[in-house]
Amino acid sequence: MSLTNQWNAKLYDDKMSFVSAYGKGLLEWLSPVPGENILDVGCGTGDLSAQLVEAGAKVTGIDFSASMIETAKQKYPQIAFSVADAHSYQSNELYDAVFSNAALHWMKKPQEVIQSVWQLLVPGGRFVAELGGKGNCEYILQALRIALSRHNISADERSPWYFPSIGEYTALLEKQGFRVTLASHFDRPTTLPDGDQGLQHWLDSFCSPFFAGLSAQARTDIREEVTELLRPALFHAGSWVMDYKRLRFIARKEATPTSLQPDASR
């Protein structure tokens, strides 16, 4: 039984477009320069990759989901997209920047990802990313824990997510050798589209590992219970508002200084 999230690229584009919309703020942190070679890690269906190209960058996009990459290629055939695992991705090219929006929290071996990024960057290159931070979607997780426990299932064991604190992730970056020049951990209440149906779209898009191996009736029962548990906390004025907490950072792979030599004339 696989607990890997089963991505529906059409649903993602139709109902979860806010992911890329919020990513535009991260592009300001990246500040791409025309001619730069940039790797987009967890590119999804390619919308932010396309904006990087519009800014004049040469872009490569990778994602673990074949469905996402297929859709990205259809939408933006001029961009090089490929299916790849960021934990171990290698390339003959080196990049001026590695960019990632709303993807790193799906990668549960962060030190492997950070090491991979380090090897892909030129000296002086930068790693600019945003991911779910500590406390992200905590109401959702609490509701899933309660509903799944009635079926003798541990939500924590099935969780596909890794939501680190700012100290935890920046420490991992520094351990690799990065210099973290800017980092922020902040609340981002996020309104879902489609009114009362918004939470169901969100669960369908992001929560398939929690429901793996369950009957259709069990999945329906759990979704209904999760919805009612969350309604008092997250349903406001006709819309679902998710309790997002985000972690954003800029880290640089600083060039190794040349060895200093004593002045022989002294």
Q: 22 burial class (0-12, 13-18, 19+ CB within 10 angstroms)?
A: middle
pLDDT for 144 = 98
Residue 53 has pLDDT above 80, yes or no: yes
- Domain boundaries, given as residue ranges, for the chain: 9-252
* pTM for the model: 0.90
179 neighbors 189 (Cβ within 8 angstroms): no
Rounded Cα distance between 50 and 67, Å, is 18
Question: 246 exposed, middle or buried (CB, 10 Å; 0-12, 13-18, 19+)?
Answer: buried
Place of tokens 């929690």: 210
* pLDDT at 261 > cutoff 90: no
What is the overall mean pLDDT for the chain? 91
Please count the other Cβ atoms lying within 10 Å of the Cβ belonging to residue 75.
16
Tokens of 122: 């030129």
Q: What is the tens place of the pLDDT at every residue in 163-181? A: 999 999 999 999 999 999 9
Token output for 59: 């872009």
Question: Does 39 score more than 80 pLDDT?
Answer: yes
Torsion, CA 154, CA 157, CA 163, CA 164, rounded to 10: 120
To which CATH superfamily is domain 9-252 assigned? Answer: Vaccinia Virus protein VP39 (3.40.50.150)
Sorted by sequence, the CB contacts under 8 Å of residue 90 that are 6+ apart come out as: 116, 119, 120
